[in-house]
Amino acid sequence: MTQATASTILDFIQLERIEQDIFRGESKDLGTPQVYGGQVLGQALEAARLTVQDRDVHSVHAYFLRRGDFTAPIVYQVDRSRDGGSFSARRVVAIQHGQPIFTLSASFQKPEQGLDYYEPKQLPDSPDVLAQKGLLPDDSTRSAIRLLASDFEAYAVAQDADNNSGTLRWWIKSRERLPDEIALHKTVLAYVSDFGLLQATLLPHAPATKARRELVKKMVMASIDHAIWFHRPLRIDEWLLYECRPISTSNARGCAHGSVYDAGGVLVASTFQEGLIRLDQDY
């Protein structure tokens, strides 16, 4: 088990190669009852990445099967499903205590030239701009992503006249400068991407932050499945805006869509998640 304050994000996603296509990762104690889902997601993607050369990940689809135990390591088994002329596919199974706890499918592509379009987005001021204006939020908003606080700078965009679109939004970047390898930045973004989506599904039921925090206390919440599409190169050590929008809640499940923009308003990634949002019977 690795304490949250004892390592950097690079130490955390580093895997030990046990044998060909089999890796082992350590867990990080973030003060939660189980392993943070983004940890398994990030490490599984890293395991897949280590079996691919000269191709970049462009899509990830994952299922959370069982709770992870942060007191024990997790073993990642990679299946090389396909290596074609342009694309490679990998399937990863995360195993703990002899049982699969998570599966991931990822597709990698050789860089190609092609059409390029995304819907332009007007973003709120980044923390750097706010600092220049003397309007940087106080420390209370920096705790928006408490699970990631030791490794990331994070600021919530206040839900006021500037954020009335029914979304939850955060500015986020890693505290440390990372190597230039874009694949590494994508892996770290995968780690971050599991946070915020399920909270967004509660937004229609509790628009105010205080009310939503109270509702969360009454809920049993867990990720069920998760998808990421990487559209363009990105740097997680520079400010990214993560915008999470609720899509549907029903049958004790919630769906939300996420969009990730760089500080220039360029769409660099999209996410989608369904999760359990069950009212706790104790309430």
Nearest one of 141, 242, 240, 163 to 207, comparing CA atoms = 163
| The amino acid at 74 | I
Is 282 one of the annotated active-site residues of the chain?
no
47 φ, ψ (degrees, to nearest 5): -60, -45
**How far, CA to CA in Å, does 39 sit from each of 27, 56, 193, 221?**
8, 20, 10, 17
Indicate the SS3 state at residue 32. Answer: coil
Please give the sequence-ordered ranges of beta strands (E in DSSP) within the chain, or none if there are none.
2-3, 16-19, 22-25, 28-29, 56-64, 74-83, 87-96, 99-109, 152-156, 168-174, 219-230, 240-250, 253-262, 267-279
**Token digits for 133?**
């204006």
Is 194 one of the annotated active-site residues of the chain?
yes
Is 223 one of the annotated active-site residues of the chain?
yes
Nearest one of 12, 75, 84 to 52, comparing CA atoms = 84
Counting beta carbons within 10 angstroms of the beta carbon of residue 254, is it exposed (0 to 12), middle (13 to 18) or buried (19 or more)? buried
Catalytic residue among 105, 159, 194, 237: 194
Catalytic residue among 39, 174, 223, 259: 223
The residues that are catalytic are 194, 223, 273
